[in-house]
Amino acid sequence: MGRMVIVGAGECGVRAAFTLREEGYEGTVTLVGEEPHLPYERPPLSKNAPPAVKLIAEETRYRDLSIDLLRGTRGQRIDRENRRLVLADGRTLDYDRLLIATGARARRFPGMEKACTLRSVGDADAILSAIDAGTKLVIIGGGFIGLELAATARGLGAEVTVLEAADRLMARAVPAEIAAMFEDRHRQEGIRLRLGAKVETLEEHIVELADGSRIEADIVVAGVGAEPITGLAADAGLAVDNGIVVDGCLRTADPSIFAAGDCCSFPYRGAPVRLESWRCAQDQGAHAARAMLGCGDSFGRVPWFWSDQYDLGLQVAGLARADQPFLKREAGDGAFVLFQLDGQGRVLSASGAGPGNAVARDISIAEKLIERGIAVAPEVLCDPGTRLKQLLKG
């Protein structure tokens, strides 16, 4: 009988543990999580107030599947020679295969020590319980988490200022036209949005910008991205380069050790990428589990993520590239999808936004077009009269 150890009990680690059992694995499965709670979903933390804790699975599910869930337990060190994970409390776990699924932590730039960040349920509680009608909330960073929190806090009646250093919102992951739709909406909702704003100094109740302006705050939250948690791997001599480096099967250079989810850098269509995406973390967890059981397939799922702000939703499938033009398809009600094609006319990425789930179907279809490498004529994509689903049948 074997021993599988998973360190990190987030979306990825939990999915890996379940998949091991779904695949019929009968040895021991131990899931080590630093957080005291039962594993929960992070996306609702910035989208709902009060933050309703949404568990990934009820406690009984772990018991029924004979998964040893060690909560409030930190993995401290990997002893590769003896294939052993040393825990912070001194216990040790021997493994045949180890999965590192330690996720990411909220980034803080120097000088931002006094700002709150939002990654865990404790963070969400601390931030949202401090927000009431009239609370002055300053958010540094106009990315997804900052903007979702801005919308949520506005719903509670807070006076919200968002400071973004770039000249537009969500610059890292969505096309400018979609960012503009969200920018308009945030302004309409009464968010004070300052683009090109460089934070000079940050005290607990005052933020000073490079242009000399000073903004009063009851609470300051930094939403300036996340950095992968890679210490276990790096200390064990495994390669780290913007994430724990893995091959197509999500395996590190040590054949007994795998990494997946937000903490890993994996090859996507030949180039290394690291994603911070909920579904990718699930898919990779499941894939890593099968790889731990000996499956040699490469991970090939198309990246996909979403964000909700007010009643607007955005979804992106594939990875948008800065060097390719966008082809626009109207989806009604002001919703639209922007496609990118590669040199051979195959769909590379699709980014859509609009009220509610208006773009969901088109993005779902686009994801399948990307996955299957189907070439589509631009005029077909751009004509809202064509049925995209038909393209999958050809």
Partner 1 sequence: MSQWVEACAVDDVEEEDLIRFDHDGRTFAIYRSPDDAFYATDGLCTHEHVHLADGLVMDHIIECPKHNGRFDYRTGEAKGAPVCVNLRTYPVKVEDGRVLIDLS
Ligand X SMILES: Cc1cc2nc3c(=O)[nH]c(=O)nc-3n(C[C@H](O)[C@H](O)[C@H](O)COP(=O)(O)OP(=O)(O)OC[C@H]3O[C@@H](n4cnc5c(N)ncnc54)[C@H](O)[C@@H]3O)c2cc1C
Binding interface with ligand X (CB under 6 A): 7-13, 32-35, 42-43, 45-46, 74-75, 101-104, 118-119, 145, 229, 232, 261-263, 276-278, 281, 305-307
Is 365 a residue that touches partner 1 (CB under 8 A)? yes
In this chain, which residue has its C-beta nearest to ligand X? Answer: 10
Q: Which stretch binds partner 1 (CB under 8 A): 53-61, 190-198, 217-225, 259-267?
A: 53-61
Q: Which of ligand X, partner 1, none does 146 bind, CB closer than 5 to 8 A by kind?
A: none
Q: Quick one: which of 180, 210, 234, 392 contacts partner 1 (CB under 8 A)?
A: 392
Q: Under the criterion CB under 8 A, does residue 340 sit at the interface with partner 1?
A: no
63 lies in the binding site for partner 1 (CB under 8 A): no
Nearer to partner 1, 257 or 391 (CB): 391
Per-position x/- string for 288-327, each x denoting binding to partner 1 as judged by CB under 8 A, each - no binding = ----------------x-x---------------------
The residue range among 31-39, 124-132, 192-200, 357-365 that interacts with partner 1, by the rule CB under 8 A, is: 357-365
Q: Which does 143 bind (CB under 5 to 8 A by kind): ligand X, partner 1, none?
A: none
Which option in partner 1, ligand X, none does residue 361 bind, with CB closer than 5 to 8 A by kind?
partner 1
* Number of residues this chain uses to bind partner 1 (CB under 8 A): 21
Secondary structure, 3-state, the chain? CCEEEEECCCHHHHHHHHHHHHCCCCCEEEEECCCCCCCECCCHHHHCCCCCCCECCCHHHHHHCCEEEECCCCEEEEECCCCEEEECCCCEEECCEEEECCCEEECCCCCCCCCECCCCHHHHHHHHHCCCCCCEEEEECCCHHHHHHHHHHHHCCCEEEEEECCCCCCCCCCCHHHHHHHHHHHHHCCCEEEECCCEEEECCCEEEECCCCEEECCEEEECCCEEECCHHHHHCCCCECCCEECCCCCECCCCCEEECHHHEEEEECCEEECCCCHHHHHHHHHHHHHHHCCCCCCCCCCCEEEEEECCEEEEEEECCCCCCCCEEEECCCCCEEEEEECCCCEEEEEEEEEECCCCHHHHHHHHHHHHHCCECCHHHHHCCCCCHHHHHCC
Distance in Å, CB of 380 to ligand X, minimum: 29
Name which position in 70, 193, 286, 376 contacts partner 1 (CB under 8 A).
Answer: 286
Instruction: Please confirm whether the linkage preceding 378 is cis (ω < 30° from 0).
Output: no
Out of 279, 346, 380, 386, point to the residue binding partner 1 (CB under 8 A).
279
Residue 119 binding partner 1, by CB under 8 A: no
382 scored as a contact of partner 1 (CB under 8 A)? no
Buried b (16+ CB within 10 A) or exposed e, 219-234: bbbbbbbbbbbbbbbe
> Considering the rule CB under 8 A, would residue 356 count as an interface residue with partner 1?
yes
Q: Which of 57, 197, 222, 370 binds partner 1 (CB under 8 A)?
A: 57
Using CB under 8 A as the binding rule, whether residue 282 contacts partner 1 is answered as yes
Kindly list the residues in this chain that would bind partner 1 in the complex (CB under 8 A): 15, 18, 41, 54, 57, 61, 278-279, 282, 286, 304, 306, 356-358, 360-361, 364-365, 389, 392
